[in-house]
Amino acid sequence: MESKNIFILKDLDNLNKLSYHSYDPEVLFLINSIKNKAKGIILDKLSEDITYGSGKWELRTTDYVPETFPKRIKLLQISNISENGEIIETERDKYIPLELHEKWKTSKVRKGDLIVAITGTLGRIALFNQDYEANLNQALGIIRLKKEYEGIKIIPEYIHLYLNSYYAIEQFMRFGGFRAGQSGLSLDEIGSVYVILPKEDEQKRIIEEINKIRKEAISHFDKYIEYSNKSKNIVQEILNIPIPNEDERIFIYSEKFKKRIDVPYNSPFLKRLLNSIKKNKHDELNKLLKEAENKFIFSDFYNVIDLDNIDENLSEIKDWEEVKVLNSTKTVFKKNNLLVSKMGGEKGNIILIDEKYDGFLGSGELVPFELREESPVSLEYLFYVLRSPYISKQMEYSLSGCSRMRISNEEMKILSIPLPKDEKQEKELINLVRELRKKAISEKEQYLLKKQGVYDKFKDLLKKYL
């Protein structure tokens, strides 16, 4: 039986929030303990400024410039904050011209700033220790800390750990974790979080102890990413079909380009890649798979998987949500469906459905396919090949649209799929990918254990103040 926290609100005339989560007695007790017993200080008093991207309401797709643009400035996004709370580079990095960076003065990022996600996943916070200049997009905010507070030095590394800890996350969730739409935080809410601020020596001791565990966690995470990438790239090693170099980006206009006029689709690289695949055994996706026609069945509740619930590294479902009302068109999943996302498929949003997720619903971006009876290869083989650079590159160069680029169903169906020379090669590929995925999953499990260890250790280290 599900346990429930029952509590009664007596002063209904003075509610400042409608959500009952805001009045959870356990969270209110925690905040009261931090405030009074630990002499907690609100983050606003520890900060010079808490702000969000200056161009929040005026940034347009046309404002972006390529990485090769002279005097370009990186525009940080949520994707630039790793699961470990570090600033990382991604294939989706965005840049703006220097003029906009100078115009948006308040969101210029400085070394030592804390970069916080104000929409979407709460608790996504990174310490910016990079040496380059940067600005923010609309989903991020800056917490710029003071040097000290009432004679106590404020160490950014400590505040970073604290804001990713139980003590801050519970407060963040109370403020913005249960909103009707997308979860998020206002600047005032961020500034209202109570912080336990020990003396400088104690902050340093806590950082040292936590960093020992974090180092182990990050090591497992790096290995998890390494094995995940190998599980995609090993396909090329087994099939031994060369992928051309992408360095050449010369584009010559031709009147022959009648189907589409966008540069990536007509790039020399895509043509060379397709030629390389077609010199070997291959077939189009729609000759191997057919789009599934799964019936929608009305129910009292639905299990829903969104794109954010998919692990792009291993192409696995990591979470889902149970809902009573559907707010948009959904895709129905059935066992042995192979789902390919129109948006993000090139990054790994591809899932093979097993019996556990039979009958689930998902984003309308996910296109369900099933194996044709006459297909010469297995569904598992196709799942692994669709995650490989052979297909991800075809999808990447076939995307269309501006701000939310996606591949159309028609383009998806004509993707060129390399096939194995024989059953022996197919079996070898499947076995090697299985082994690499098994190692990746093991490293991910170890990472999650160590990550929880960081969370638990920090919580224990501050218990003495409460």
Per-residue pLDDT tens for 391-426?
A: 999 998 888 876 678 899 999 999 999 999 999 999
Q: How far apart are CA 111 and CA 313, in angstroms?
A: 30
Q: Are strands 140-145 and 152-153 parallel, antiparallel or unpaired?
A: unpaired
3-state secondary structure of 409: helix
- If you average pLDDT over every residue of the chain, what do you get? 87
Alpha-carbon distances, residue 12 vs 22, 29, 174, 175 (angstroms): 13, 19, 18, 18
Confidence of residue 2 (pLDDT cuts 50, 70, 90): very low
Name which of 15-24, 26-35, 442-451 the model is least confident about: 15-24
Predicted confidence (pLDDT) at residue 261 exceeds the cutoff of 80:
no
pLDDT at 7: 54
Q: Which of 131-145, 251-265, 354-368 has the lowest mean pLDDT?
A: 251-265
Phi/psi of residue 19, each to 5°?
-65, 130
Residue 433 CA to residue 52 CA, distance in Å, equals 43
CA 249 to chain centre: 29
- pLDDT score at 319: 87
Q: What is the pLDDT of residue 180?
A: 47
C-alpha to C-alpha distances, 185 to 24, 36, 49, 79, 121, nearest whole angstrom: 18, 24, 16, 18, 10
pLDDT band, very low/low/confident/very high, at 182 (cuts 50, 70, 90): low
d(CA 54, CA 319): 33
Return the pLDDT at 19: 58
Kindly tell me if the per-residue pLDDT of 72 is higher than 80.
yes
Type of residue at 171: Q
Q: What is the mean pLDDT of residues 13-26?
A: 61
Which of 126-141 are b and which e, b meaning 16 or more Cβ less than 10 Å from the residue's Cβ?
bbbeeeeebbbbbbbb
- pLDDT given at position 139: 84
Residues 6+ apart with CB under 8 A from 141: 50, 51, 52, 53, 115, 116, 117, 118, 185, 187, 190
Q: Residue 457: what are its φ and ψ, rounded to 5°? A: -65, -45
CA dihedral 438, 443, 448, 452 (to 10 degrees): 140
Band of the pLDDT at 133, cuts 50, 70, 90? very high
Cα(65)–Cα(283) distance, integer angstroms:
37
172 secondary structure, DSSP code = H
Which amino acid type is present at position 277? I
First-to-last alpha carbon distance for the chain, in angstroms, is 32
Q: Any idea which residue has 């630990």 for tokens?
A: 38
Query: In what helix (H) or strand (E) does residue 277 lie, and over which residues does it extend?
Result: helix 268-278
Mean pLDDT to the nearest integer, 8-26? 59
Gap between the Cα atoms of 246 and 214, Å rounded: 36
pLDDT at 178 > cutoff 60 = no
Contacts of 466 (CB under 8 A, 6+ apart): 33, 34, 37, 38
Segment 40-51 mean pLDDT: 95
Average pLDDT over residues 379-386: 97
Q: pTM higher than 0.95, yes or no?
A: no
Kindly provide the residue ranges of all beta strands, DSSP E only, lying in 201-326, ordered along the sequence: 282-284, 289-291, 302-305, 310-311, 316-317, 321-323
Give the Cα separation of 311 and 16 in Å (integer). Answer: 37
Strand locations in 35-163 (E): 41-42, 47-52, 72-76, 94-97, 114-117, 125-127, 134-136, 140-145, 148-149, 152-153
* 1 pLDDT tier (thresholds 50, 70, 90): very low
